[in-house]
Amino acid sequence: MTISVDYDGSRPLLSFVVPVYNSQSTIGRCLDSIISQMGESYEIICVDDGSTDGTPAILDTYSEQYGSISVIRVDNNGPSAARTRGIHSTTGRYIAFVDSDDYYAAEQLERIVEELRDNEGHAVYVFGYLERDKPGKVTRKCQPSGSTEGAMLLAEFLDIYSRPENISLMNYLFNKVYRADIAKSVDFDFSVSLGEDALYNYKCYASCGDVFVSRTAAYVYENYSASSLSRGKGLDYVWRAYRTILEAIKPLLTGRGLGERFWSLQRSYAISALHEYMRKRDSTGQDRRAAKEILTYMCAEGRSWPLDGVGAFDALLMRCVRMGGVPLGLLLCEAKRLLRR
């Protein structure tokens, strides 16, 4: 459902919330990518999360030069607390979250703004992104398929984007624009150290009737950055985070009469976690135990999971688990992992 928004010009169109911690080498690029493309009707709220390097001085320089930039300083409590502080300091009609290590690709933020102006009133806007795991090298372009652009009802959106290959488009904060009333009505869960972004998004989805989807890949995600939270985490840690997300999602979807979509999300998170394992060149005993735990979960929960909407390998994996349980599923995962080495 779309709603009327304030068109009188008294509020910025778009507020950017940027949590910042020890980002002296990247924050300038991040801010420049916004300033150079926005023109008028925007604000940037930088929340300095207790930086101890040269970041505060850089932020002061930008805020003195640009009236659209405000700096809030807080004690170090993590990005979710910083984002929460930033959200409630915004005045824009829409809100976007930007990580200080990342930036918007040239001319692509302009396209997002054009689409936003042409299609105002939706609760959440989802667009594509570029991912780099090495400096200067784009390793993945993640964007909606060509047949799924525009406004779609929440049930349709979940049907398409709960598939394993699309799940990241649903989960991340950085590839979205939120209507301000929706963004401010939902809280981040500070008790969750990995997956809090996804939980926030699902709360937003549960509060809205439709989602607007764009193929524009505007955001550049620097996944090699030292601050990328999931880097270096073991598979057991990632799987615990996914289980936390699933436990939180179930009542949200059931409450909206979308309980069947939960099966697809269970499937996607389990398969995504196993793909994390299969991408590992050198797995540990702990990783192998976590893979067995995921496969055990699939044995217990996966009988109702749909086989359609996944790739050929993932469908084969699900069939193997149903037929041969954990041993056969693990054998297939190990074979795939060794072939990737």
Give the model confidence (pLDDT) of 108-136 as tens digits. 999 999 999 999 999 999 999 999 876 66
Q: How far apart are CA 178 and CA 162, in angstroms?
A: 20
pLDDT at site 211: 94
Q: Residue ranges of the domains in the chain?
A: 14-222, 235-340
Q: How far apart are CA 177 and CA 15, in angstroms?
A: 9
Mean predicted confidence (pLDDT) in 301-313? 86
Fold of 14-222: Spore Coat Polysaccharide Biosynthesis Protein SpsA; Chain A (3.90.550)
Q: How far apart are CA 272 and CA 115, in angstroms?
A: 31
**Residue 17's closest CA among 49, 53, 54, 55?**
49
Residue 228 in tokens: 């990328």
What confidence tier does 225 reach under pLDDT thresholds 50, 70, 90?
low
- Range with the largest mean pLDDT of 76-85, 125-134, 240-249: 76-85
Judge contact between 180 and 88, C-beta under 8 A: no
**How many angstroms separate the Cα of 327 from the Cα of each of 24, 81, 255, 301, 317?**
49, 42, 36, 17, 12
**How many angstroms separate the Cα of 76 from the Cα of each of 2, 11, 69, 81, 138?**
37, 30, 21, 9, 31
- Tell me which of 11-15, 27-31, 47-51, 139-143 is least confident: 139-143
pLDDT at site 218: 95
pTM of the model: 0.87
pLDDT(246) > 80: yes
Mean predicted confidence (pLDDT) in 245-271? 88
Mean predicted confidence (pLDDT) in 279-302? 92
What confidence tier does 290 reach under pLDDT thresholds 50, 70, 90?
very high
pLDDT at site 227: 45
- Residue 71 pairs in a beta bridge with 46
pLDDT(248) > 80: yes
- Tell me which of 15-29, 141-155, 218-232, 261-275 is least confident: 218-232
pLDDT at site 3: 47
What confidence tier does 8 reach under pLDDT thresholds 50, 70, 90?
low
The 10s digit of each residue's pLDDT in 163-216 is: 888 888 999 999 999 999 999 999 998 777 778 899 999 999 988 889 999 999
